[in-house]
Amino acid sequence: MVAGLERVIAKKRLIKQGAMQDLLTARRRLPGFSGEWEAATLSELADIRSGGTPSTSDATLWDGDIAWVTPTDITALDGRKFLSGTTRTISRAGLRQSSAELLPEGTIVMTSRATIGECVISAIPLTTNQGFKNFIPKDRADRDFLYYLLMSQKKGFIELCSGSTFLEIGKTQLTGYTVRVPETKKEQEAIAAVLSDMDAEIQTLESRLAKARAVKEGMMQNLLTGRVRLV
């Protein structure tokens, strides 16, 4: 059962990747939509914000009520779309005395240092460290469409960092980065809905896989310790 679910999930991920490549480049159009896509810079689609870290030598700046994101919080999600909690928090004083910015719920948080282009959507107001560039969608951009669009640009973002010993993409580079988007927000929303449904299906399968692995591990422990004997 475990191996079967792993194969299904791998297949579903490949299907989603193909759908992203087709839908986010207009190679395939959803029914009811036509017309040319238009060029837009990321700064036309979102307000781009950075992060910061309060002084670690001042305890009063930490362990408050403001979520503070590090790359570890992103990797712990294992590809899930939404971030609703962080390992560390900062205080109101920490927010005031650092370059960290309080970002609203719905901000797209993207890693911009070392690991480039890993994105999540914030389900809560939060701050980030300086290893992120954060996108607050403007009116012309659907939030979920922009999330998938940014995820699809990872290779392009990394190419902007080529030649650097330490990969990092800055706000200036992202501000002028050009993408193509549908003329209507309605088409953006339709594309995002298709990809979101795929994500939801994968997440359901991953939950089943986690349960199956837990059952398998429990059975192995029982059998290998003699708590359960075969008859």
Same domain assignment for residues 62 and 169: yes
Query: Which structural domain, as residue segments, surrounds residue 216?
Result: 1-34+184-231
The residues, ordered by sequence, that sit 6+ positions from 194 with a Cβ below 8 Å of its Cβ are 19, 23, 30
Say if CB 129 and CB 53 are below 8 A apart: yes
pLDDT of 211 reads: 83
Q: CA–CA separation, 124 vs 137, rounded Å?
A: 15
Query: Domain total for the chain?
Result: 2
| pTM score of the predicted model | 0.87
**164 and 65 share a domain?**
yes
Residues 227 and 142 in one domain: no
Task: Give the closest residue to 195 by CA, choosing from 28, 6, 46, 42.
Answer: 28
Answer yes or no: do 167 and 215 share one domain: no
Q: Are residues 119 and 23 in the same domain?
A: no
Phi, psi of 38 (to 5 degrees): -115, 150
Type of residue at 6: E
Judge contact between 102 and 162, C-beta under 8 A.
no
Among the ranges given (5-19, 58-72, 92-106), the one the predictor scored with the smallest mean pLDDT: 5-19
Regarding whether 139 and 222 lie in a shared domain, the answer is: no
Q: Do residue 152 and residue 213 come from a single domain?
A: no
Position of tokens 């995002």?
192
**Residue-wise pLDDT tens digits, 109-162:** 999 988 899 999 999 999 999 999 999 999 999 999 999 999 999 999 998 886
The string of pLDDT tens digits covering residues 152-180 is 999 999 988 866 677 889 999 999 999 99
